[in-house]
Structure 1
Amino acid sequence: MATHTTRMLIIGSGPGGLSAAIYGARAGMNPIVVQGLQPGGQLTITTDVENYPGFREVIQGPWLMQEMQAQAEHVGTRMMWDTIVSVDLAGPVFRAVGDGGDIYEGETLVIATGAQAQWLGVPGEQELSGKGVSACATCDGFFYRGKKVVVIGGGNTAVEEALYLTNHSDDVTLIHRRDSLRAEKILQDRLFAHPKVSVLWNKRVERFLENTANGELRGLALIDTQTGAESEIATDGAFVAIGHAPATALFKGKLDMDAAGYLLVEPGTPRTKIPGVFACGDVMDHVYRQAVTAAGTGCMAALDAERYLAAKEFAGKAASEAALG
C-alpha cells in the first residue's frame, strides 16, 4: 500500500479523463489517472470510428484510446492500474482509495468515470456487438446507409435514435415490448408522422440471429408479450436504446445528481458543487455522449482546475502577506 499525491487526480481513463490529463500535464499539474475497471472507456469496445476529428479514414476505437494514453504519458501523466472503491471529498485535499489499499490524494479532482449503455442481456447481443448490434446510432448509423435497421426501446433515447437513423435508412423499425411509448409526446408525434419509420408493438427481443456465412447480424427473434407467439424480423443493424447507467455510485450522498444518476454541474462548465471537484464526459452528459464532447469537457475540467489552483494560491499568498503586516 502506498500514497500517491498530485495536483490533479483523475478518476477514469476514457476520452474525457485522458484529455483532462493532457491539458493538466501541460499546465504542470503532474496529473495521476486511475484507470478503473475499463481502461480507455467505451471506445475500447468500439470497432470502427469515423466521426472523431482529424482522421480521414476509419480508425479503431482501441487504437484511438491507446494513442490518447500515450500522448498523456508523453507530456507527464502518471497512469495507475487501479479501481477506486471509496472517496473523501471533504477537502482541502481530495482522497480516493483503490481496491488494493493504495491512497490517491489530489489538490483537485476530475471525475471521468463515464456511463455504460444498458443491454438486453439476450443471446447473440454481445457476440454480434460491432457486427450489426450497436448502442449508439449517432456513432454507427452511417455504416447502415441504405440498409434496413431496427431500434429497440420505448423512451426518448429510442425515439431519437430511430429518427436520427432516417438520415441513413429508408426502413427503420422501432421495437417496443409494450403497447405505448414512454417518450415525450412531441417526439412520439414526430416518430408516428415519419414515413420511414414503423413500430412493432408488444414485442420482446429473444435473441439476435447470426448470419453464419459472414458472422454478422441477420435478424432478431421476437416474442409477442401478449400472446407468446414467436416471430423473426430480418435486419442489417440493430440499435439497443434502453438507456445508459452512469458510473456514479462512489459519489452518492457526496455530489448532486439528477434522477438518472448523472452528476450535476454548473451549466456550461464541468464544476460540481464542491470547489476543486470537476466532472467531465458521459458521467455528466446524458444528451450527447460522444467521444469528442467527452474530450471537450475534459479539456474544460483541466483548464478550470488550473484556474482554481491559481486562484487558491493567490488567495493564500495574499493572506500570508496580510498576516505579516
Structure 2
Amino acid sequence: MTARAVLAITTGEPAGVGPELAARIAADGHAARLVLIGDRALIAGRATAIGIDADWPEYRPDADDAVAILHVPLTRPAVAGELDTANARYVLDTLDIAIDGCQEGRFDAMVTAPLHKGVINEGCPGKFFSGHTEYLADHTNTRQVVMMLVGGGLRVALATTHLPLQEVSAALTADSLATTLAILHDDLRSKFGIDNPRILVAGLNPHAGESGHLGREEIDVIEPVLEKLRATGMQLTGPLPADTLFQPKYLQNADAVLAMYHDQGLPVLKFASFGNGVNLTLGLPIIRTSVDHGTALDLAGKGTADAGSLRAAVALAAELASHHAA
C-alpha cells in the first residue's frame, strides 16, 4: 500500500445521486487519496450545480493528489433523474476498472455509489445482473460472499440475503452456514483487526424454535454447525431468539451478529444508523464498501441528497485498508 490508502469510488448510475455525492465527499478532505471513477464532465457538472469546484486532476498512479478523476466516458450525456439504458455498459466499465485496480494493487479498496440493476439488465442484453455483490464475486472468482451492514455501533451479517421468506429455510444448509461463519470470522480478523471475534448467532424461528416446538432448523442445522465450529476455537453464542439478542447485555460482549435472513437483522441496524449505514461485502480478496441506499432519482441534481452513507463507506474503507496493510 502507498503512504496513504488509495480508494477507488465508482460513481454509479449517472442519472442518480452517485456523481454528486462522490463530488461532495471528495470536497470534504480525507486522509485517504480518493479516485473518482466516472465521466469527468458528468462529475464536474453535478459538482458545480451544488457549489463545488471540481477542478481535480486526472488520475495518475504515481501521483499523490488528494482527489483525482479517472475518466470513463459516458456513452450518451446523462440527465439527472432520467434513466438511459445506453449508459449501462458505462456503469459496468467503472466497476471493472475499480475491481482490476484493487486486484492489481493500484487501489487499496473500492467504494461503490448506487447503480440501477434494471438499466443494466435492459442495456446489456444476455448479461443478467443481479447486483454489485454477485458481480464482484464473479469477477474475483469468489465462490461465496457474505453481506454485512455496519452502522450505529453494530455489525450485522446475513446467512441468506435477497430471498423470498418461504425459501430461506431450504437455503439454510449446514455447509452454507458453516462457510458463512468462517468468512465472517476470518474477515473480522483480517479486515477489522479483531484477533478473536465474538459472534452472536440468531435462530431462524420465533424463540429460536423453542426446543423444536416452533421449528427444527435450530436443532437440525444451526446448533450442530455452531458446536462443530466452537471446537475449532470460534467464539459463537447462539442460536439466540432474534427478538431479544439486540440488547446491550448481549451486544456489549460481541463483535458481530449473524442474522438468518435479510429482514431479521437489517431493520434493527437501519433503525440505529439510518442514512449512515455501510454495506460491506465479506469473503472477497479485495475490500469493498457501499452505501445502504439506492439511486434516489428524484433527488439527483438538486443538491439535497444526504451524503452520510457514502461518507461512512469511505471512512470504513480507509479503516479496513489500514488493518489490511498492518
Task: Normalising by structure 2, report the TM-score.
Answer: 0.33
* The structure with more helix, counted as a fraction of residues: 2
Which has more radius of gyration? 1
> Structure 1 or 2: larger strand share?
1
TM-score, normalised to structure 1's length?
0.33
Structure ranking higher on relative contact order (CA contacts 8 Å, 6+ apart): 2
